Amino acid sequence: MSSASELCRILTNANMTMYQTGSSEPLQPQPLEPSLTTVSLPATGDLLQLSDLSTCSSSILAQWYDQNPQSWSKQNVLEWISFYVEGNKFDASTLSISCCFMDGPTLCQLTREQLLNMFGMSLGAQLYQSLMELKAKYDLNETCKLLDNFLHEFLDFPLLSTVEVNEVVKETSSNDFSHVFKNFNFENMKPLSDHGYESDSMHSSSSGGMLSFQNPSSPESRSSESDQEFSYPQIAKVHIKTERGEMMKRGRGRPPKHSQDPRHYQTSKKSKHAPRGTHLWEFIRDILIHPELNQNQALMKWEDRREGVFKFLKSEAVAQLWGQKKKNSSMTYEKLSRAMRYYYKREILDRVDGRRLVYKFGKNSTGWKVEETGLHGK
């Protein structure tokens, strides 16, 4: 069996369509204005900001995070399925892609049995569960909106402006809805604890071994290919008259010596930044094997498809894209290429001497060979 499924890859690359190098902003929901009334209760929008699903699909998924599954488009459904396919390294070579082309209403009509028939016992069950959870989450969202509105009106009442309400809903919510949030990371949330995570044991109930995210296909089996990161939103942790602390992301790697931005040096709480998602080489591979999803940007091309030799056509654009994926706007080809050079030692890439911007996949990279992909590039 091929190590990575075609569907998975197609959908991974569908993500590319969302990355517009030329455009100013990555496709992410605009953070809602922090409540200036100093209420740290997350606004409903914050609450539901699923800015990071565990894999590369995050940008896409952010588009439909607060939608009722009933109103999902076909694309949304596809993305949702891909999340589970990729997250589990599900081998979808046996899965008919046509199964995945349906809109939200159609999806919601399916029974559990139908899903199992279409996607198999494991994935089908998982999709069914996820669907139920997302529906529940949507309902919760609606409830929260009401609560949010209520609280805002409530807080407008002057005599109540010094009331402090702490962790009102936390217990109920974490008990009842933990599974709902399981796959999501809520940025802009104050972490419950220093490290920003809840203990896993608290909510192992719903998914159990089902969501065992393993990646047998990647050379780095220990990698965080599909790592999940989540924390609970503190649904009603209200601090009236308390400044909402801005958490600055410190950024990875060695701190820039001559950073233009002094905030770069400010210490911050360990940011729960984006899970790694795919590795760089996989990201590159995916651009190559699905050029049709690059918005006609011709970012890279195969020099020798069979041998796995490829070339960067727009090195900085690719770097920007990679940066967007890693939420790092200062990514450059210079830095990206350093990471690429580290792959030589691990034989994920082989050296190609004397040819600028040309690299070659090595024996420890997978998913690019013609036979593997089922695609036939030039």
Partner DNA sequence: AACTGTTTTCCTGGTT
Partner DNA sequence: AAACCAGGAAAACAGT
Binding site for DNA (CB under 7 A): 219-220, 222-224, 227-229, 249-259, 270-273, 275-276, 279-281, 315-316, 322, 326, 328, 330-331, 333-339, 341-342, 344, 346, 351, 353-358
CA-CA distance, 223 to 245, in Å (whole number)? 32
CA-CA distance, 339 to 349, in Å (whole number)? 11
Ordered strands of the 358-361 beta sheet: 300-304, 309-312, 358-361, 349-350
Q: What minimum distance in Å lies between the beta carbon of 23 and DNA? A: 20
By beta-carbon proximity to DNA, the closer residue of 164 and 353 is: 353
By beta-carbon proximity to DNA, the closer residue of 251 and 367 is: 251
By beta-carbon proximity to DNA, the closer residue of 341 and 363 is: 341
3-state secondary structure (DSSP) of residue 349: strand
Q: What minimum distance in Å lies between the beta carbon of 308 and DNA? A: 16
The count of C-alpha atoms lying within 13 angstroms of the C-alpha of 356, restricted to the half-sphere facing its C-beta, is: 5
By beta-carbon proximity to DNA, the closer residue of 167 and 227 is: 227
By beta-carbon proximity to DNA, the closer residue of 279 and 290 is: 279
Q: Are strands 309-312 and 50-52 parallel, antiparallel or unpaired?
A: unpaired
By beta-carbon proximity to DNA, the closer residue of 204 and 259 is: 259
3-state secondary structure (DSSP) of residue 206: coil
Q: What minimum distance in Å lies between the beta carbon of 106 and DNA? A: 33
CA-CA distance, 117 to 238, in Å (whole number)? 46
Q: Does an H or E element contain 171, and which?
A: helix 170-181
Q: Does an H or E element contain 321, and which?
A: helix 315-325
Q: In sequence order, which ranges of 44-169 are alpha helices (DSSP H)? A: 44-47, 58-64, 74-87, 104-109, 112-119, 121-156
Q: What minimum distance in Å lies between the beta carbon of 351 and DNA? A: 5
> CA 230, 231, 232, 234 torsion: positive or negative?
negative
Helix, strand, coil shares of the chain as percentages rounded to 5?
A: 45, 5, 50
How far out from the chain centre does Cα 315 lie?
A: 24
Q: What minimum distance in Å lies between the beta carbon of 251 and DNA? A: 5
Q: What minimum distance in Å lies between the beta carbon of 306 and DNA? A: 21
By beta-carbon proximity to DNA, the closer residue of 169 and 203 is: 203
CA-CA distance, 371 to 163, in Å (whole number)? 65
Q: What minimum distance in Å lies between the beta carbon of 302 and DNA? A: 16
Q: What minimum distance in Å lies between the beta carbon of 33 and DNA? A: 25
CA-CA distance, 84 to 63, in Å (whole number)? 17
Tokens representing residue 133 in the block: 């959870």
By beta-carbon proximity to DNA, the closer residue of 208 and 253 is: 253
Q: What minimum distance in Å lies between the beta carbon of 42 and DNA? A: 20
By beta-carbon proximity to DNA, the closer residue of 76 and 228 is: 228
Residue-wise DSSP of 112-130 = HHHHHHHH-HHHHHHHHHH
